[in-house]
């Protein structure tokens, strides 16, 4: 017992403040992309996922981006990745980075905010993908991020949940299970698409084995990244329920 206490003292208090101006991501981290030019032809040619459109209405779609940095390497004069981790949006269209300011996620309406703002339970549904998004959701439950302090928890049953946090490109083999899980949650409910796969198929975009999120499941929050940094996920969820500005 004494050893456990000594270890506890040694380990110290390790929960990181959030939000905080002191958060610094590693210098090679690829965060919010920034367009430095409207001439995106070279960058677009370098992207294996068609996330960049050149010509009229140039833009970089974070929903299709796996943050490999190939565009910035091929065309450093056109695309730059900043170290900004706040990437979430409530609007699929807003994920397309243009020369305008990026529109961050909006808070739910006052009614929903009143219901979910202080206690928000999510059922995580993993539907394809590589398991990295799940790992970065799991890490939010550790002492480092302590998701619970914001009133947010992952619930074991959809019956106990206020919404779904979906990861993966939704494989054919998970379509039915996703539909059933969604139906099992009582309304009002929220859907969060977490990671490049859930938003646009990610590395598996265009595969016949993947069907994407069914049309009858509306998405309230998009969290880009492959996988998104835990801070990106945390920021998105807290923005959604109005716990951060």
Partner 1 sequence: MRTEHLSGFDFGATDLDAGIFFETAASRLAAGGRAVAYFAIPEDGAFRLVMAVAFDRDGRLEVYSSALAGPFRSLTPSFPQLHLFEREIYEVSGLKPLGHPWLKPIRFNTPGAVPGVAEFFTVHGSQVHEVAVGPVHAGVIEPGHFRFQCHGEHVFHLEIMLGYQHRGVEKKFIGAPDARSIHYAETLAGDTTIGHTWAYCGAVEALAGVNVSARAQTLRGVMLELERLANHTGDLGALAGDVAYLPTSSFCGRLRGDFLNMTALICGNRFGRNMLKPGGVNFDLDYALIKELKLRLDNTYRDVESAVSLLWETSSVTDRFEGTGVLAKEAAEGLGIVGPAARASGVGLDTRRNFSCGPYERFTMAVSGSGDVYSRAYVRWVEIQRSAELIGGWLDALPEGPVEAECGEFKPDSAAVSLVEGWRGQICHFAVTGPDGKFRHYKIVDPSFHNWQALAMTLRNGEISDFPLCNKSFNLSYCGRDL
Q: Which residues bind partner 1 (CB under 8 A)?
A: 3-4, 7-8, 10-11, 14, 25-30, 46, 48-49, 66-70, 123-139, 141-144, 154, 156-158, 168-169, 171, 173-174, 176-177, 181, 202-204, 207-210, 226-227, 229
| Residue 222: strand, helix, or coil | strand
| Residue 229: strand, helix, or coil | coil
| Residue 198: strand, helix, or coil | helix
Cβ closest to partner 1, residue 94 vs residue 181: 181
Q: CA 30 to CA 23: how far, in whole Å? A: 15
Cβ closest to partner 1, residue 72 vs residue 78: 72
Cβ closest to partner 1, residue 97 vs residue 166: 166
Q: How far is the CB of 169 from partner 1 (least distance, A)?
A: 6
Query: Per the structure block, which two tokens stand in for 132?
Result: 């990295």
Cβ closest to partner 1, residue 94 vs residue 205: 205
Cβ closest to partner 1, residue 96 vs residue 147: 147
Q: How far is the CB of 34 from partner 1 (least distance, A)?
A: 16
Write a three-state SS string for 20-55: CCCCCCCCCCCCCEEECCCCCHHHHHHCCCCCEECC
Q: How far is the CB of 98 from partner 1 (least distance, A)?
A: 24
Q: Measured in whole angstroms, how far is the alpha carbon of residue 133 from the centre of its chain?
A: 8
Q: How far is the CB of 139 from partner 1 (least distance, A)?
A: 6
Q: How far is the CB of 29 from partner 1 (least distance, A)?
A: 5
Residue 147: left (phi > 0), alpha (psi -120 to 50), or beta?
alpha
């Amino acid at each position: 017992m004494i050893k456990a206490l000594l270890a506890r003292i040694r380990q110290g208090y390790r929960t990181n403040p959030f939000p905080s101006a002191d958060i610094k991501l590693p210098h090679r981290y690829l965060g919010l992309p920034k367009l430095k030019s409207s001439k995106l032809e070279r960058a677009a040619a370098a992207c294996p996922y068609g996330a960049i459109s050149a010509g009229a209405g140039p833009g970089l779609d974070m929903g299709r981006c796996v943050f490999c940095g190939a565009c910035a390497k091929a065309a450093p004069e056109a695309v730059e990745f900043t170290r900004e981790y706040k990437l979430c949006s409530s609007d699929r269209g807003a994920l397309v980075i243009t020369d305008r300011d990026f529109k961050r996620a909006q808070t739910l309406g006052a009614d929903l905010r009143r219901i979910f703002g202080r206690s928000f339970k999510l059922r995580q549904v993993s539907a394809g993908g590589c398991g990295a998004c799940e790992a970065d959701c799991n890490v939010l439950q550790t002492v480092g991020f302590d998701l619970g302090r914001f009133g947010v928890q992952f619930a074991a049953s959809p019956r106990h949940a206020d919404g779904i946090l979906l990861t993966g490109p939704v494989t054919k083999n998970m379509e039915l299970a996703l539909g059933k899980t969604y139906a099992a949650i009582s309304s009002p409910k929220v859907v969060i698409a977490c990671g490049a796969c859930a938003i646009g198929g990610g590395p598996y975009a265009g595969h016949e084995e993947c069907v994407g999120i069914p049309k009858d499941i509306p998405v309230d929050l998009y969290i880009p990244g492959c996988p998104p940094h835990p801070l990106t996920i945390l920021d998105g969820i807290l923005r959604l329920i109005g716990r951060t500005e």
